[in-house]
Amino acid sequence: GENVEQHPSTLSVQEGDSAVIKCTYSDSASNYFPWYKQELGKGPQLIIDIRSNVGEKKDQRIAVTLNKTAKHFSLHITETQPEDSAVYFCAASAGNEKLTFGTGTRLTIIP
């Protein structure tokens, strides 16, 4: 089955700086890669996703890049703000199969 590894497990950045979280996947058939943000006591919230037919997608301060050859994808957050502090999860799936999640990154924005 699919295996998703996520790094780093914790990340602290100064407010206004950029944050990058990286994930690798094992199943070359995976073609859908969403990113979720989870705040304390809440369910995961979908913030951006990418399919394997594109290499990069951007939504305001958030971007995701995908390297199918290397089987890795990354989340980039620019101009970080205190409200970006949360746990971020990457995930991968192939077609209609289940999402397999990474282990999460706790992002802390230092004012």
Binding site for another protein (CB under 8 A): 4, 6, 32, 34, 36, 41-46, 49, 89, 91, 93, 95-99, 101-104
Whose Cβ is closer to another protein: residue 30's or residue 80's?
30
Structure tokens given for 8: 């780093």
Shortest Å, Cβ 28 to another protein: 17
Calpha distance 109→78 (Å, rounded): 12
Q: How far is the CB of 110 from another protein (least distance, A)?
A: 22
Q: Give me 4's structure tokens.
A: 């998703």
> Is the CA virtual torsion 79, 81, 85, 86 positive or negative?
negative
